[in-house]
Amino acid sequence: MTNTASTPASPARFMLAWLMPLTVGVAAWRTPWAAWATALGFQVVLALVERAAPRWTSPPPAASATPGFVAVLRAHVLWQALLLALGVALAVRHVDGGGSWWAVVALGLGVGGVTGSQGITFAHELGHSKSRLDRALGWLLMGSVLYAHFMVEHYRGHHPRAATRDDPATARYGESLWRFLPRTLVGSFASAWRLEAQQLARLRRGWHRSALAWATLAQLALLAALAAFGGGAALLFWLVQAAYAVFLLEAINYVEHYGLERRIGEGGRREPFGVQHAWNADHALTNCFIANLQRHSDHHLHAWKPYPTLAALPGPQLPTGYAGCLFLASVPPLWFRVMHPRLQAARAAA
């Protein structure tokens, strides 16, 4: 239920999200390995808090999405741009100084922990905005991790098809994370271009009017510029941070709808999306860092709803938040042992 208090809620708790890019940037300045350790440390701490305080739920949603909540997301675009620029500079300096290439990989993983867990999450939220500026910023963030096609596939593909076998981003019952990853990577890319071609044909436009085509060219130009002006170190850093960011995105996609499936009725019509078709986890601290993404059922039911107003709905509940579930999903037998009883209970309650 939405909080109807007359005093608008403060976005201050969501500003905690800024701690991650800032601390990873400071750590990277000291040593590439510290950047990786800091990003991993955030995930471990959040997972431990989720485990130690399972009943610590988020405060009620805000009564209205004031400009301050949007500013939290927009400011991250600046923090991420600065962090990526710093990463490139440090990677080049490290290799030019005779340092290890493995340290560049560690730096990429550290920065990718930010661009994946927060940059993609905030791009997702900005892309759901009705503001053209916010949607453009979403494209920019996704382009920075070389995954611009998400901006087509997620909104035109995943949302209509979530919790169905037609959706490459919905994990099936008994499918491990490691089997899911190649299927969703290939399927999402192909689906995005197919959806874009269908829309261009419907609007009678050529590919020169395609935002996806231009974004893809921009990504290729970015990689060429990195190789030309920063050399192998800059290119390796960027590719590693992008790859890890995409891994985090798709790993969370795996968690969000695992094993949940909408029924097919007479005439092949899909059951409408309901609260029972997404996994939720209402942990306060994690939701501060990822813009209430764990209130996932409400997000799918009301896709244009701003993140501070999302409600904690009584749908299927994860055993812990996303940070902890990343560790569980990485070990398939453990994931299945924990999730399958919950999935059976969710199906029985549906």
Question: Could you give the maximum distance between any two Cα atoms of the chain, in Å?
Answer: 67
Q: Is the pTM of this model over 0.75?
A: yes
**Angle at Cα 159 formed by Cα 329 and Cα 1, nearest 5°?**
85
**Residue 337 is assigned to a structural domain of this protein:** no
**Residue 82 is assigned to a structural domain of this protein:** yes
C-alpha 108/C-alpha 27 separation (Å) is: 13
From 193, 330, 175, 167, select the one nearest 252 (Cα to Cα): 330
Tokens read off for 321: 């938040």
pLDDT along the chain (350 residues), means of 10: 48 94 98 98 94 71 76 97 98 96 98 98 96 97 98 97 96 98 98 98 97 98 98 98 98 98 85 95 90 95 93 91 96 98 89
**Residue 128 is assigned to a structural domain of this protein:** yes
**Residue 104 is assigned to a structural domain of this protein:** yes
Taking 3-state DSSP, the helix, strand and coil percentages for the chain, each rounded to the nearest 5, stand at 70, 0, 30
pLDDT of residue 32: 97
Name the strand (E) or helix (H) holding 138: helix 132-144
pLDDT of residue 64: 66
**Residue 124 is assigned to a structural domain of this protein:** yes
pLDDT of residue 282: 86
**Phi-psi region for residue 153, left (φ > 0), alpha (ψ -120 to 50) or beta?**
alpha
**What is the total residue count of the chain?**
350
The alpha carbon torsion through 346, 347, 349, 350 (nearest 10 deg) reads: 110
**Residue range(s) defining the domain that contains residue 256:** 14-260+269-317
Helix, coil or strand: residue 49 = helix
**Residue 330 is assigned to a structural domain of this protein:** no
Task: Determine phi and psi for 222, rounding to 5 degrees.
Answer: -60, -45
**Residue 95 is assigned to a structural domain of this protein:** yes
Task: Determine phi and psi for 283, rounding to 5 degrees.
Answer: -95, 125
**Residue 333 is assigned to a structural domain of this protein:** no
Q: How many domains does the chain have?
A: 1
Helix 67-96 with 132-144: angle, nearest 10 deg: 20
Contacts of 301 (CB under 8 A, 6+ apart): 273, 274, 275, 313
